[in-house]
Amino acid sequence: MASIKELASKGNLFAPGHRACAGCGGTIILRLVAAAAGENTVFIGATGCMEVASTIYPYSAWKVPFLHNAFENSAATASGVESAYRALKKKGKITKDINIIAFGGDGGTYDIGLQSLSGAMERGHKLLYICYDNGAYMNTGIQRSSATPFGANTTTSPAGSVIKGKTQQRKDLSEIMVAHNIPYVAQASLFYWNDLVEKVKKALKVDGPSFINILSPCPLGWGYDPSETIELSELAVATHFWNVYECENGKYKVNIKPKKEKPLEDFLFKQQRFKHLKNNPEILEQLRAFLKEKYENLLKKEEISAR
């Protein structure tokens, strides 16, 4: 296990000076991922907040190589990078071992980039894909995505007088990735930074594709005070809104089983996007039931795969 001192002592590979909002979860994720992966790493980023905020010409927040192609194709682009890496290594033109990490938000990963991601994972390229999931298209102004939670207010699923927020439950992308039979799939939370760092290290060691889905609180999109990003990252896990687990070669492990579970309201009502649920308890109950079932299923999968 790395200590926070040790991580900090290496300096930031994703440097301060990017232009993300105060309290942005995505930038903390990238800094931790880069620290865990180390210098011999290249990043391929999808169009989105993290790319836009970190590479405004002529500046770049990246101290390691960074490549942006388009919105829906960071996994396909990374698969090309990985293929070039293999070809050039075979020819002796590259001698170092290089970690290849692609990333995207939930828009670039769950939705527009899903096909590209699925293709790259199925083809077995040795690369790690990181999704920073903030539960909406934040870069274009908080529009709903398939990762947006049930009931959440977004600019395209507004809490109106008739329809009150998003009317569909979240897509379970991590389980879709498990269904690709890739060696390593995990979910992580910023609050459990050590778990996150260890997962990145583990993912980079597997011989094949790996995927880590990380909850990325967004002060602007969720509607909360920027100082509460880490607290919300903890509450999301304590309320089973977001489960921290991994699936390694088909074996599930729930890494964080909160000792003190907290009521879902503690997480939801710190955020403007759910405030209308106070007056719409039936929506809240549907969300609660969905999350409960998800967590229980996860425990069952852990139990079954341990046999």
Please choose, out of 75-83, 199-207, 216-224, 280-288, the segment that lies near another protein by the rule CB under 8 A.
Answer: 75-83
What is the spatial distance between Cα 229 and Cα 238, in angstroms, rounded to a whole number?
14
Q: Does 64 bind another protein (CB under 8 A)?
A: yes
Amino acid at 59: Y
CB 6 within 8 A of CB 34: no
Q: Does 130 bind another protein (CB under 8 A)?
A: no
Count of residues interacting with another protein (CB under 8 A): 48
Q: Identify which of residues 45 and 151 has a Cβ nearer to another protein in the complex.
A: 45
Q: Does 76 bind another protein (CB under 8 A)?
A: yes
CB 148 within 8 A of CB 166: yes
> HSE of 246 in the Cβ direction (CA atoms, 13 Å)?
17
Q: Does 156 bind another protein (CB under 8 A)?
A: no
Q: Does 111 bind another protein (CB under 8 A)?
A: no
Q: Does 80 bind another protein (CB under 8 A)?
A: yes
> HSE of 54 in the Cβ direction (CA atoms, 13 Å)?
27
Q: Does 260 bind another protein (CB under 8 A)?
A: no
What is the spatial distance between Cα 307 and Cα 280, in angstroms, rounded to a whole number?
42
Please choose, out of 114-122, 199-207, 215-223, 270-278, the segment that lies near another protein by the rule CB under 8 A.
Answer: 114-122
Strand-pair category, 128-133 with 210-215: parallel
Helix axes 193-205, 25-37, angle to 10 degrees: 50
Q: How far is the CB of 35 from another protein (least distance, A)?
A: 16
How far is Cα of residue 44 from the mean position of the Cα atoms in its chain?
15
What is the spatial distance between Cα 12 and Cα 61, in angstroms, rounded to a whole number?
10
List Cα–Cα distances, 132 to 57, 221, 280, in angstroms.
23, 14, 29
Please choose, out of 82-90, 211-219, 252-260, 269-277, the segment that lies near another protein by the rule CB under 8 A.
Answer: 82-90
Q: Does 282 bind another protein (CB under 8 A)?
A: no
Structure-token pair, residue 214: 């990380």
Q: What phi-psi label fits residue 188: left (phi over 0), alpha (psi between -120 and 50 degrees) or beta? A: beta
Q: Does 92 bind another protein (CB under 8 A)?
A: no
Q: Identify which of residues 73 and 243 has a Cβ nearer to another protein in the complex.
A: 73
Torsion sign over Cα 183, 171, 233, 47: positive
What is the spatial distance between Cα 196 and Cα 225, in angstroms, rounded to a whole number?
23
Query: C-alpha angle with apex 126: 194 to 201, nearest 5 degrees?
Result: 15
Q: Does 55 bind another protein (CB under 8 A)?
A: yes
Q: Does 176 bind another protein (CB under 8 A)?
A: no
Q: Which of 4, 8, 87, 289 binds another protein (CB under 8 A)?
A: 87
Please choose, out of 53-61, 140-148, 152-160, 279-287, the segment that lies near another protein by the rule CB under 8 A.
Answer: 53-61
Q: Does 11 bind another protein (CB under 8 A)?
A: no
Q: Does 39 bind another protein (CB under 8 A)?
A: yes
Structure-token pair, residue 282: 């039936």
Q: How far is the CB of 31 from another protein (least distance, A)?
A: 16
Q: Does 307 bind another protein (CB under 8 A)?
A: no
Q: Identify which of residues 117 and 235 has a Cβ nearer to another protein in the complex.
A: 117
Q: Does 46 bind another protein (CB under 8 A)?
A: no
Q: Does 15 bind another protein (CB under 8 A)?
A: no
Which residues bind to another protein, rule: CB under 8 A? 39-40, 42, 44, 51-52, 55-58, 60, 62-70, 72-73, 76-88, 90-91, 93-94, 96, 98, 115-116, 118-120, 122-123
